[in-house]
């Protein structure tokens, strides 16, 4: 392990090679400073990370790769997309993709260890694959990265080189409801509030929650704050979990488990050396068999579309990848196998920007998940679990679809043989 000035990174990276694959932390943990320097050293390389933020290298010569596409790679003409569940990505490194360089964003050292901080996720798998291939593992050690406990605590000698920085970690900007109509004259804020209320009513005291990031999951917080004894077992957590903790909704005796954090500076301060929080590798957090052991496991996710067969598309728009499968299918399966578990799909019935129904006859894009417990929109709750496919279709049209779309959906359901 060697501590380097950033201008000396060229001493550990072979800049003559044009076939290197560089894997970095993603989400809010992308090590933009060191990545930017590495980009100046390599004429051509493959850049692989999850949920890439703005600011990553975009020039010719860089081939972006991801199993979950973020805004930094979305619509990129050279994007190489791997359609797979997040829990399978570490196996991708083991069995398919050679990892030559890993750039991890870590905390400052404590007692001879650093922490991967806000994102553990697939990084342990990438580091192991890189080591096995004889590659180079670099740490961007940042005094402002929280030190979190769990699978991301690594001894300093894991790293071949360390570059020290002292800079703010990326924050997740909170999107404000803009009042845009959601269909039928209802504002985005009103529809989100209704959906959130319907979701929270289904959550029992003592339940274990998986909450996604975004406006719809956040809208469920008002009702969830009044719950008691809740647990968290989730892929990603945000400020909503901090709010539940401050409201007394979480069971103080239960460990809060996640694989990554995205949110505000307040969330990061709460996470720093928090003994109740464990940030684990995705092979653990997203394992359906482990998810299924959580008491009253309740998975709350959203999608771009749901069809009359209760298939959800959360990954593609107009046949082009928008994000990816992520952990939605992992948690849907795990929750359905948990004792008294639920897999809830929450979305608006009408897409405000595209001005189309989100309940469609048949999804033409790759399916992200299916067989949910219920589909919830501002129109109501379509009960799906344990029903035959014709009953599912009727539930979706009558209780989840926007009224403006129902006549067409009835006709399409007839043509599909669902009535």
Percent of the chain with pLDDT over 90: 81
Question: What pLDDT score was predicted for residue 187?
Answer: 79
Question: What pLDDT score was predicted for residue 185?
Answer: 60
Average model confidence (pLDDT) across the chain:
92
Can 2-165 and 188-415 be said to share one CATH topology? yes
With beta carbons less than 8 A apart as the criterion, state whether 301 and 314 touch: yes
Q: In this predicted model, what pLDDT tens digit does every residue of 140-192 receive, in sequence order? A: 999 999 999 999 999 999 999 999 999 999 998 633 333 344 555 677 788 88
With beta carbons less than 8 A apart as the criterion, state whether 90 and 285 touch: no
Pairing of strands 359-360, 305-307: parallel
CB burial string 23-57: b at 16+ within 10 A, e below: bbbbbbbbbbbbbebbbeebeebbbbbbbbbeebb
Residue 419 or residue 273, greater confidence: 273
In three-state form (DSSP H/G/I as H, E/B as E, the rest C), the secondary structure along the chain is: CEECCHHHHHHCCCCCCCCCEEEECCHHHCCHHHHHHHHHHCCCEEEECCCCCCCCCCCCCEEEEECCCCCCCCCCCCCEECCCCHHHHHHHHHHCCCCCEEEEEECCCECCEEECCCECECHHHHHHHHHHCCCEEEEEEECCCCCCCECCEEEHHHCCEEEEECCCCCCCCCCCCCCCECCCCCEHHHHHHHHHHHHHHCCCCCCEEEECCCHHHHHCHHHHCCCCCEEEECCEECHHHHHHHHCCCECCCCCEEECEECCCHHHHHHHCCCCCEEECEHHHHCCHHHHCCCCCEEEEECCCEEECCCEEECCEECCEECCCCCCHHHHHHHHHHCCCCEEEEECCCEECCCCEECEECCCCCCCCEECCCEEEECCEEEECCCCCHHHHHHHHHHHHCCHHHHHHHHHHHHHCCCC
User: Which residues have C-beta within 8 Å of that of residue 104, sequence separation ≥ 6?
Assistant: 24, 25, 31, 116, 123, 127, 137, 138, 139, 140, 159
Q: Mean pLDDT over residues 358-377, rounded?
A: 93
Q: Which fold has domain 188-415?
A: Glutaconate Coenzyme A-transferase (3.40.1080)
Q: In this predicted model, what pLDDT tens digit does every residue of 184-214 receive, in sequence order? A: 567 778 888 899 999 999 999 999 999 877 7
Question: What pLDDT score was predicted for residue 305?
Answer: 94
Q: In this predicted model, what pLDDT tens digit does every residue of 318-348 receive, in sequence order? A: 778 888 888 999 999 999 999 999 999 999 9
Percent of the chain with pLDDT over 70: 97
Q: In this predicted model, what pLDDT tens digit does every residue of 87-140 receive, in sequence order? A: 999 999 999 999 999 999 999 999 999 999 999 999 999 999 999 999 999 999
Domain 2-165, architecture per CATH: 3-Layer(aba) Sandwich (3.40)
CA dist 305 and 119 (Å) reads 28
Q: Integer distance in angstroms from the first to the last C-alpha of the chain?
A: 66
Structure tokens at 227: 């719950």
What does the domain layout of the chain look like in residue ranges? Answer: 2-165, 188-415
pLDDT at 395 over 70: yes
Q: In this predicted model, what pLDDT tens digit does every residue of 247-260 receive, in sequence order? A: 999 999 999 999 99
State the catalytic residues.
235
- Whole-angstrom CA distances from 149 to 113, 174, 255 are 11, 26, 11
* pTM of the predicted model as reported, rounded to 2 decimal places: 0.92
Residue 270 or residue 222, greater confidence: 270
């Amino acid at each position: 392990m060697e501590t380097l000035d950033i201008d000396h990174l060229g001493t550990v990276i072979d800049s003559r090679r044009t076939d290197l694959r560089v894997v970095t932390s993603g989400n809010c943990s992308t090590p933009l400073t060191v990545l930017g320097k590495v980009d100046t050293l390599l004429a051509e390389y493959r850049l692989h990370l999850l949920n890439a933020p703005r600011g990553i290298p975009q020039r010719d010569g860089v081939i972006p790769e991801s199993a979950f596409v973020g805004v930094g790679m979305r619509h990129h003409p050279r994007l190489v997309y791997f359609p797979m569940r997040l829990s399978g990505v570490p196996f991708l490194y083991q069995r398919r993709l050679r990892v030559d360089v890993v750039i991890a964003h870590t905390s400052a050292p404590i007692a001879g260890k650093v922490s991967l901080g806000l994102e553990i996720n697939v990084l342990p798998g990438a580091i192991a694959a890189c080591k096995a291939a004889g590659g180079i593992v670099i740490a961007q050690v940042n005094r402002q990265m929280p030190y979190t406990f769990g699978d991301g605590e690594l001894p300093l000698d894991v790293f071949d080189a360390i570059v020290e920085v002292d800079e703010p970690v990326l924050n997740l900007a909170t999107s404000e409801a803009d009042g845009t109509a959601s269909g039928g004259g209802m504002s985005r804020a009103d529809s989100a509030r209704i959906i959130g209320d319907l979701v929270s009513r289904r959550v029992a005291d003592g339940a274990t929650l998986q909450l996604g990031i975004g406006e719809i999951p956040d809208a469920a917080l008002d009702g969830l704050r009044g719950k008691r004894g809740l647990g968290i077992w989730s892929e990603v957590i945000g400020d909503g979990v901090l709010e539940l903790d401050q409201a007394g909704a979480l069971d103080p005796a239960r460990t809060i488990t996640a694989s990554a954090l995205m949110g505000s500076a307040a969330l990061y301060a709460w996470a720093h050396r928090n003994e109740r929080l464990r940030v684990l590798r995705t092979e653990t957090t997203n394992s359906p068999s482990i998810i299924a052991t959580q008491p009253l496991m309740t998975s709350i996710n959203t999608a771009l579309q749901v069809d009359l067969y209760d298939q959800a598309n959360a990954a593609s728009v107009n046949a082009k990848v928008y994000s990816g499968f992520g952990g939605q299918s992992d948690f849907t399966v795990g929750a359905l196998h948990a004792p008294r578990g639920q897999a809830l799909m929450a979305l608006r019935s009408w897409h405000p920007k595209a001005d189309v129904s989100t309940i469609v006859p048949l999804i033409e894009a790759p399916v992200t998940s299916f067989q949910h417990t219920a589909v919830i929109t501002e129109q109501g709750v379509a009960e799906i679990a344990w029903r035959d496919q014709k009953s599912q279709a009727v539930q979706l049209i009558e209780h989840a679809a926007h009224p403006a779309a129902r006549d067409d959906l009835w006709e399409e359901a007839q043509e599909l043989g669902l009535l």
